[in-house]
Amino acid sequence: MTMTHAAPGVDRRPVQELHTDVLVAGGGASGLAAAVTAARQGCSVVLVERYGFCGGGAVAGLSGTICGLYEASEGNAPPRQLVHGFVDEFITQMEGRDGLGAPLKYGKTYTRVHEPLAWRETADAMLKQAGVTTLYHAMVTEVLLDGDRVAGAQLYTKEGKLRVHAGITIDATGDADLVSMAGLPTSMGQDGHVQNPTMIFRLMGVDVERFIAKYGSDTIMPAEVSAQIVTAKASGYNLPRAKIWLFPTTRPGELLCNCTRVTGADGRELNAVLYRDFSEAEFEGRIQAREYARFFREHLTGCEGSWINDTAVQVGVRQTRQANGVKTLRNADILSGTKFADGIARSPWPIELHSGDRPRVEWLLNDYYEVPLGCFVPRRGESLFVAGRCLSAEHEAVASARVTAQCFSYGHAIGHAAALAVQERIETRRVTGEDVRILLNRDGARLNG
């Protein structure tokens, strides 16, 4: 039967109200750091997260590594950590839970593999200790607007709608969801094209010692593995990406596999803020995970008896919407190592551009760049910050600035910025990066040394 009229949407459950100084939407690295930092400054804080745990792309997307901590250099120099502050505390707590591996070689730098359960437990403990009101299994459906001011958000919960009224709202969704809901300007990739998602999975039953003896300690697989993938693809395997990354984890006999390239049936890079694309990515990602696991089992030394333990809860998302900020991190800032007087985070991570069968990596050697506070302050709208990978940045700049260590730094900074705005009763655009930088250094960020 064809319907000729639209039935009104109804939810007759009572709407509840909650008031707070700071609302943080999203519990990834940046949201966690922002919520804990603002609460430690004496603010009442509500954090809302759609899953039953924190971690965002690192846990639900199973990116599995803390990237962006260490200087990049030629040769075999030992790891030199350049990024400090909130991330140091997180690392200490993870190590106390045996949830973080030692630095692993990653091309010209290093990274550290984490255990997702320990990540969740560490986040839970930090939020509880700071006194953050944490709402798991809740999702922002609308922003509350008072003229140009974002005054909080309406949430969906199993109990019903919940309106959270906030002095300052932080969009740490990764996708600039609240910015978009408020009708504020955003951008999307390069001419609308974004970097492809990846379905990351864990491979168990691996003889890791034999695997490393054959392929080396660099987690970016050598050219011989890429050549094998190309040959196997020609013989009928569905292996769209030839340059792959395999990480030994904190668990015995396990590899974390970052190797799929999830595109649409039409060959297009899928965009996770488009609902049909997001669903298609999940289907295709799981298919590819099985195919890569089959290839590893049949062709790679040490993987002969391996099997998939599990895929990520969701496909890993690299890029969607970006906020249009007071400042924008430029592509040129990355490789030139640009520093800013109002810089609130530093990064030595390369441009890591995922498109095509071979991700492109461009290194910044023996240096780092900084990210200014203005990249997290929307150009329009009041009482709103962003944090995480939805910062204001050009397409290739996002391919460096989005990673975990930097997201911790962004959240640390924005937590302080939000607390300043609340306590000084000033608008977000009047908070200065120089002031936030002083507070970060007091917390051990070492931005001046």
What is the residue-wise DSSP string for 347-385?
E-PPEEE--SSS-EEE--BT--EEEEGGGGSBSS-BSEE
Q: What is the pLDDT of residues 288-308, one digit of tens each?
A: 999 999 999 999 999 999 999
Mean pLDDT of 35-60: 98
Mean pLDDT of 416-423: 98
Q: What is the pLDDT of residues 317-370, one digit of tens each?
A: 999 999 999 999 999 999 999 999 999 999 999 998 766 556 788 999 999 999
Amino acid symbol at 348: P
**Average pLDDT of every residue of the chain:** 96
Work out whether strand 160-171 and strand 384-386 pair parallel, antiparallel, or are unpaired.
Answer: parallel
Q: What are the residue ranges of CATH 3.50.50.60 in the chain?
A: 16-192+319-442
- The owner of tokens 């991700």 is 359
| 20 SS3 class | strand
Mean pLDDT of 177-183: 98
**pLDDT beyond 90 at 186:** yes
Q: Please report, rounded to a whole number, the percentage of residues in the chain having pLDDT higher than 70.
A: 98
φ, ψ (nearest 5 deg) of residue 335: -75, -15
Mean pLDDT of 244-267: 96
**pLDDT beyond 80 at 139:** yes
Q: How confident is the model at residue 324, as a pLDDT?
A: 97
Mean pLDDT of 166-173: 98
Mean pLDDT of 140-159: 97
Q: What is the CATH number that goes with domain 16-192+319-442?
A: 3.50.50.60
Mean pLDDT of 383-393: 98
What does the DSSP 8-state code read for residue 155? E
**pLDDT beyond 80 at 3:** no
State how far the Cα of 398 lies from the Cα of 197, in Å rounded to an integer: 14
Q: How confident is the model at residue 103, as a pLDDT?
A: 98
State how far the Cα of 392 lies from the Cα of 410, in Å rounded to an integer: 12
Q: How confident is the model at residue 265, as a pLDDT?
A: 92
Q: How confident is the model at residue 449, as a pLDDT?
A: 74
Mean pLDDT of 382-386: 98
What pTM, to 2 d.p., does this model score? 0.96
- Sign of the dihedral through C-alpha 118, 124, 127, 130: negative
Per-residue pLDDT band for 248 (boundaries 50, 70, 90) equals very high
**pLDDT beyond 90 at 55:** yes
Q: How confident is the model at residue 355, as a pLDDT?
A: 64
**pLDDT beyond 60 at 414:** yes
**pLDDT beyond 60 at 28:** yes
| 409 SS3 class | helix
φ, ψ (nearest 5 deg) of residue 100: -145, 125
First to last CA, the chain: 70
**pLDDT beyond 60 at 1:** no
Contact by Cβ (8 Å): 368, 400 = no
Mean pLDDT of 101-111: 97
Q: How confident is the model at residue 352, as a pLDDT?
A: 86
